[in-house]
Structure 1
């Protein structure tokens, strides 16, 4: 299917769509300037920002951060609900942030607090299904973490990448709600969302998400994972986390469509090979991907 921007409108194939712009150049929004001048950028709690900056810091003070998390009642409540869920075993009662750090480990607690902070930072734009958005985000995140067992990548970093892989889509809906409505009209006719965004706005949701992650001071590996998720092999330097996101997204969408029988038939083996995944071992465990969401729905509400 062909896409074309003209002075008279936006065309899909040979049919004009309702997305009208004066000139192609006027339809391109400078992403960095948009974010710089935005009045509606989501704010994340200071302790969440500190947790982001703790990635890769060998000298991070776990006790100090746990104390700060404990001072935030909303974050603590969400953390404890998730920590006591079936996903994390549920065999021992987690009654405090310190308990969670001791039982689950600092990295797992950091992941849960980041998830709690992120879900609380965004307000739903008009007409945007925020619970469904986060449900998909956590499904991809949990699948990224599962895949990391086979690729030998850091599981919690993989989860974080999956959790915010789609954050650019939400950001675009917040900052450009009217444009999103028009873009959706074209997407409803069968166009690929990221292609339309790129043509109309000058950027797409992975680029928007990567820019926001960069502003929030996420590590470069996570920023690259978000930016190159649509085509990891085309990245200037291969991003392992982009590949994990891409595979996880494929698995989640295949399950959602009810095409489980074809899951391994169309599996992105090129990415799996690049990651060093043993496909025989993965295939033996692939049914586990049907039920990875336990506990994460607690973070959505």
Structure 2
């Protein structure tokens, strides 16, 4: 079985998994052989990707070879970091079926390798000027009116999930987007969620609110950086895996943080075009990390990156601090953050998704796991290996891609 875009479908292909349209209605069952009429209807019904039976062995070999070469390139600056080398070795074994680790890698006692240095905080003037531009951007989707009503309702302790669901359901397009995300595999529900009120009950007010807020912006992710949407989905689901492994409360809410963690890249692409162009050129020319290019004093400024930008926008949209802070600081972790555990979790999920090549974060490098991340989460490398094994098994529907900017 392989997942392909609807534009790659050919007459005679056989559907491997049930197909749902953009309104989350089941459109085609498993086992149907596609003809030209069905392919046309797939496109008309808003289907973007679907699973098709069969694989091309030659393509898989080439793809595996390319991914292994990219893996070497991605980690080439991290050879002195025991933790990152262990992560690389686990990912390598997932790309080569049946492979075993080539050697035992000794991990430092703290289990955190060398760790990324904490960056200095952005200057007040740099931050104020840039934040004003982000908050006043006119080419981002406007905040749906329903959000203002939801804010009032969520603050009322007597509000029920049915009432919140009814408010969201007033906007049919928005409802369809929320249900599509809820049933996308993001939260790992075993049965389909068919109503907004059910979604609110399962996810909680804040998680659904963040989905509502981000749904219109998420449509822009693929247009900003090819593969960013897939990376965001993978990060969300990995956040959920880690949260469940640690038996944290609200794993669905934490998964939603992962879904929106790179929202700032979309804002940068759409509303700060000159700065995005500078980031693009630096990433391509110097083969550097996307967020490091952003933090150049000649671009966004010291300590300011897409996490900061995404956090500003979400704060303006009145998301609670427990969702905003992990997004804002997922590249600049500090142990004394109010929501340090969640922030550490998002950074770990991001690093693991990049190591496993799920989607595209916009560069060909991988961030070094910052010092104290694993210590904050009370995890060791055995825990990390278990999580990566779960990712390898449960994220098969998300393509592994060659990263970078085009």
Same fold (TM over 0.5): yes
Question: Which moved further from structure 2: 70-79 or 165-174?
Answer: 70-79
Q: Structure 2 CA distance, aligned partners of 1:27 and 1:113? A: 30
User: Do residues 196 (structure 1) and 293 (structure 2) align?
Assistant: yes
- SS in structure 2 of the partner of residue 30 of structure 1: helix
- SS in structure 2 of the partner of residue 38 of structure 1: coil
Tell which has more relative contact order, 1 or 2 (C-alpha 8 A, sep 6+). Answer: 1
Question: Which moved further from structure 2: 170-179 or 191-200?
Answer: 191-200
What is the CA deviation profile of residues 187-236 of structure 1, one whole-angstrom value per residue up to 9, with x for unaligned ones?
A: 11223322322222223211111111111111112222112211323655
2:245 equivalent in structure 1: 150
Q: Choose which of 119, 125, 129 in structure 2 pairs with 1:30.
A: 129
CA shift in 2, pair 1:242/1:53, >3 Å: farther
CA shift in 2, pair 1:291/1:31, >3 Å: farther
- Offset at residue 165 of structure 1 (A): 0.9
The within-5 A match list for 1:234-273 is 237=338, 239-256=340-357, 270-273=372-375
2:259 equivalent in structure 1: 163
Aligned residues: CA RMSD? 3.8
CA contact (8 A) 2:268 2:306 kept: yes
1:68 equivalent in structure 2: 167
Q: Choose which of 316, 326, 331 in structure 2 pairs with 1:230.
A: 331
- Offset at residue 52 of structure 1 (A): 6.6
The within-5 A match list for 1:1-301 is 30-48=129-147, 59-83=158-182, 87-90=188-191, 94-101=193-200, 105-107=201-203, 111=207, 114-115=210-211, 117-121=213-217, 124=220, 128-129=224-225, 132-153=227-248, 154-188=250-284, 189-198=286-295, 199=297, 200-202=299-301, 203-233=304-334, 237=338, 239-256=340-357, 270-277=372-379, 280=382, 283-284=385-386, 286-293=388-395
Bigger Rg, structure 1 or 2: 2
CA shift in 2, pair 1:240/1:220, >3 Å: same
1:22 equivalent in structure 2: none
TM-score between both structures, scaled by the size of structure 1: 0.70
- Offset at residue 292 of structure 1 (A): 4.4
Q: Structure 2 CA distance, aligned partners of 1:119 and 1:112? A: 10
- SS in structure 1 of the partner of residue 139 of structure 2: coil
CA contact (8 A) 1:137 1:164 kept: yes
- SS in structure 1 of the partner of residue 137 of structure 2: coil
- SS in structure 2 of the partner of residue 138 of structure 1: helix
CA contact (8 A) 2:340 2:376 kept: no
> Is there any run of 5+ residues in structure 1 with no aligned partner, and where?
2-25, 259-265
Count residues with an aligned counterpart.
260
1:19 equivalent in structure 2: none
1:17 equivalent in structure 2: none
What is the CA deviation profile of residues 14-50 of structure 1, one whole-angstrom value per residue up to 9, with x for unaligned ones?
A: xxxxxxxxxxxx9998222213432223323233455
